[in-house]
Amino acid sequence: MPRVHVAIPIGRNAANCHKVLHATGAHWITQNHAEQKRLAELAERRGVKLMPRRQNLPSRGIESADVATVLGNDFTMDSFRFAGKPLRRVPISSAYEFTWDENRDFAEGGRNFLWMGSYGMVHKGLDLVLEAFARMPDLRLTVCGRPEKEEDFWQAYRHELTGLPNITFAGWVDLGSPEFESIRRTHVAMVYPSCSEGGGGAVIHAMHAGLIPVVTREASVDTGGFGETIEAATVEAVCASVSRLAENGPAALAQRARASYDHARTHHTIDVFSADYAEFLADLLDGRVGVT
C-alpha cells in the first residue's frame, strides 16, 4: 500500500494549532523518481523491464505542514528542504533489541553478508547485491525477504537466488526467531543499496543485531567510522564496498561491529525516540522549533 504523509494538527485551538508532518520516508517525488531510475538502469543492464513497487501517491503534506519530523538523516531531510519548513530529526527506533554476543567468530563470519528487506526488491537494491555476489564466489550472501512475491523480479533473478552456491535464499525470517539468531551470530554485515529510505529500518534492526552497515547514502543511515558507504548504484560499487570490508581482519571487524551495535543502542531505541519526540513537542509548543 502506498505511503501517505499526513500533517497532524497539535494545539488547543485554532489560534495555536501547529500542523506537523511526520515523514516516514523521503518526499514522494524523490522516492518515485529514485525507483524509476533504478528500474531504467536495470533494464539497460539486464534487458528486463520490471514493475515499480514503491511508488507513493502525490501529496502536499510538507506544503500543508508548519513543521516536519523526519526519521532519517540528511538524505531524507534534504528531500523536504525545498519547502522551507522547519525540520526536526527524530531518529527511527527499532522493534527488536539484542544482547551483544562476545563469542562471534569474525574470522569465519567475516565472509558472510546479509540482505534483508520487505517489498520493492529493485528499490532496495537486491538486484545489485545479487549481481555483485555472483561476481564474488569467495564471499557468501544470505537473502531474507520475499522476492518470490514479485514475480517479474523472481523470474529475472531465479538463477542468482537458487542456483549459486555462495547465495542462500532464506525467505522471510522473523527477527525474533531462532533462524535470525543464527544469522546474526554468523554474519558480519548488512548490504543495503537502497535508492530511497526514511530511516533505513531494516539496516537499523541489523545494527542492533551487531551487523556492520554497507549502504548507499539513500539508505538514510548514519555509518560513522564503522560502516561502509556504497558510492554509486552500480554492481561494481557494491563489489568494491563489500570487498573492502571483507579485507578487514577479525579484530577490526569485531571492533566495527561493536561500534555499529553501540550506535544503534545509543540512537535508535524506543526510549530514545520517545524522549526525542517529547522534546520536539515541548519545543514546538514553546515556540523553539527550528531547522536542525
pLDDT digits (tens, 9 = 90+) for 221-232: 999 999 999 999
Mean pLDDT of the chain, nearest integer? 94
Rounded average pLDDT over 13-30: 88
Render pLDDT for 84-95 as a digit per residue (tens, 0 to 9): 999 999 999 999
Q: In this structure, is residue 290 part of a structural domain? A: no
Q: Same structural domain for residues 233 and 273?
A: no
SS3 string, 44-67, reads HHHCCCCCCCCCCCCCCHHHHCCE
Q: In this structure, is residue 97 part of a structural domain? A: no
What is the amino acid identity at position 291?
V
Q: Same structural domain for residues 86 and 133?
A: no
Contact 77, 87 (CB under 8 A): yes
- Stronger pLDDT, 125 or 291, i.e. the higher one: 125
Instruction: Kindly report the number of other CB atoms within 10 A of residue 144's CB atom.
Output: 22
Q: Same structural domain for residues 77 and 164?
A: no
Q: Same structural domain for residues 127 and 254?
A: yes
Residue 163 φ then ψ, to 5° = -120, 5
Instruction: Kindly report the number of other CB atoms within 10 A of residue 155's CB atom.
Output: 12
Q: Same structural domain for residues 273 and 257?
A: no
Q: In this structure, is residue 176 part of a structural domain? A: yes
Instruction: Identify the DSSP state of 196.
Output: -
pLDDT-above-70 percentage for the chain: 93
Q: Same structural domain for residues 262 and 273?
A: no
Render pLDDT for 168-184 as a digit per residue (tens, 0 to 9): 999 999 999 999 999 99
Q: Same structural domain for residues 85 and 126?
A: no
- Give Cα separations from 272 to 15, 98, 242, 267 (angstroms): 31, 16, 31, 6
- Domain extent at residue 229: 106-267
Q: Give me the count of residues in the chain.
A: 292
pLDDT band at 287; cut points 50, 70, 90:
confident
Rounded average pLDDT over 101-124: 96
Q: In this structure, is residue 292 part of a structural domain? A: no
Q: Same structural domain for residues 175 and 60?
A: no
Per-residue confidence (pLDDT) for residue 129, from 0 to 100:
99
- Residue whose entry in the numeric block shows the C-alpha cell 558510492: 231
pLDDT-above-90 percentage for the chain: 91
Per-residue confidence (pLDDT) for residue 77, from 0 to 100:
97
Per-residue confidence (pLDDT) for residue 141, from 0 to 100:
98
Q: Same structural domain for residues 157 and 273?
A: no
Rounded average pLDDT over 47-56: 98
Task: Enter the pTM of the model.
Answer: 0.93
Per-residue confidence (pLDDT) for residue 3, from 0 to 100:
52
Q: Same structural domain for residues 171 and 262?
A: yes
Q: Same structural domain for residues 212 and 251?
A: yes
Per-residue confidence (pLDDT) for residue 286, from 0 to 100:
87
Q: Same structural domain for residues 117 and 260?
A: yes
